[in-house]
Amino acid sequence: MSLLLWIGTILGTAVGLAHAVYLWRVSMQEADSRGTAIYRGAWAIGLWTLFGTYVLVLWIVGVIAYGLVGFLPARREA
C-alpha cells in the first residue's frame, strides 16, 4: 500500500507540474501579474499531488471492478 501511495504521489506531482506550466503560460499571455501565475501554479501542483493518489486508487479499483463485471452472468428478461 505504501508503494501505491508513492506512485500516486509521483504521478500526481508530474501531472501537477505539467498543469502548472500550462497555467503559467496562459496567465502570462493574459497580462496577469507574475505573482498570480505563481499562485495558480502552486495550487495546481499542490492539488494534483494531493489527489493524485486517490485518482490512481480509484482507477485501479475501477479497472478491477470492470473486469469482474465481465464474469457476472447476463440478466435475461422474458
Record the pTM.
0.60
Sign of the torsion angle spanned by Cα atoms 66, 67, 70, 73: negative
20: cell is 502548472
Q: What is the pLDDT of residues 8-22, one digit of tens each?
A: 788 888 888 888 888
Confidence of residue 74 (pLDDT cuts 50, 70, 90): low
Q: At 78, is the pLDDT very low, low, confident or very high (cuts 50, 70, 90)? A: low
Distance between CA atoms of residues 58 and 1, nearest Å: 14
Q: Where along the chain do its domains lie?
A: 2-69
DSSP class of 30? T
* Phi/psi at 13 (5° precision): -65, -40
Could you tell me if 54 and 15 are in contact, meaning their C-beta atoms sit under 8 angstroms apart? no
pLDDT digits (tens, 9 = 90+) for 31-66: 667 788 888 888 888 888 888 777 777 777 888 888
- Give 1's pLDDT tier (boundaries 50, 70, 90): low
